[in-house]
Structure 1
Amino acid sequence: MAKNKKVEIEGREITIISDRSDDFISLTDIAKHKNEEATGLVISHWLSTRFTVEFMGLWEQIHNPIFNVTEFSNIKNEAGANGFVLTSKQWISKTNAIGITSKAGRYGGGTFAHKDIAFEFASWISPSFKLYLIKEFQRLKDEENDRLKLEWNLQRTLAKVNYQIHTDAIKENLIPKELSVANHEHF
């Protein structure tokens, strides 16, 4: 099940969805740093650049076995030309992309991208914004790791205590006292 977390960068709240080993960061939240009202346009302008299309295509080829390379080549040939516009939904539907998702809805909706892609987008918005995002993301991951270590240690301690309780109960209730005394005499 996906868990939402938030970090704050330069006064902006950025949503991060973690699901198993993948983290997806809200491009919509990042885009608000550039233009509060037109986040979709900001994302679309970024997606329409030749550099971004090449980066996204390479990322997908590395991570996505069902990536549509033929459609990617068509998009790459058009990228950067005057009038070329690419939305996240077009990218996803044409190429079977998995590195970026787009959901409709007022709460929980928006465009999210794998952390690798989101950091690249943040760099396009502002190099300082990208650096702060990386630092906050790393801080969040360090906190999660510390919590997991603590939980693991707690589970380990509980297992140890439970083992002692179980073995004591077995000694007291299941092993006949005569057998126990007889076994000790042989040793």
Structure 2
Amino acid sequence: MNMIVHARAPRWAKPTLWLRLLILPILFLILCLPSVAVAQWNPLNPVVSVQKEPDGVRFTLQKGDLRLQVCSDSIIRVRYSPGKSVPVHPDLIVIKSSWPAAKWEMQSSDESVVLNTAQIKAVISRKDSGVTFQDGAGKTLFQQTEVTMTPVVVNAEQTYHAELFSRLWGSHESFYGLGQHQAGVWNYRGEA
């Protein structure tokens, strides 16, 4: 007597269902998450060399040039360029260009470079070129963590789209000086 028995596998044991419910989402995550993680991370821009100048310090970065100019005891001008030097363009607003000599000093270590005046201190991290400003008592006022400049063409002119990532610390001070007020925002503190 020959008997043929057909056993039917339970529904959960079918490979197509397992493939759909478990393997495909895992494959999707494995393939997509690394690209998202890379897209969110900007590489560090370390300081390659430091050059002291009469009115400040010039930093040659892995990607760009950073210059801090000591204008007075309470003003330090920061300029960044993704190229080898900060380009000179005619300003469309009045900017004071000649400052009386201010007393300042520079201290350098393996981790940072510090510019000190009587009222303000700028600390530049060598590992990522981040700039932190502190008052005379050492209280952190402002921290620039990252700058990105993406080349763009505007009105047939080669220029950059700039983004500055920063933090204002423990004060109620306003953040002005960006030059554009189309959205009606004058104080950029807390704005994105």
User: Same fold per TM (> 0.5)?
Assistant: no
TM-score bracket relative to the smaller structure? under 0.3
Higher strand share: 2
Q: Could you tell me the TM-score, scaled by structure 1's length?
A: 0.23
- Using CA pairs below 8 Å that are at least 6 residues apart, which structure has the higher relative contact order? 1
TM norm structure 2: 0.23
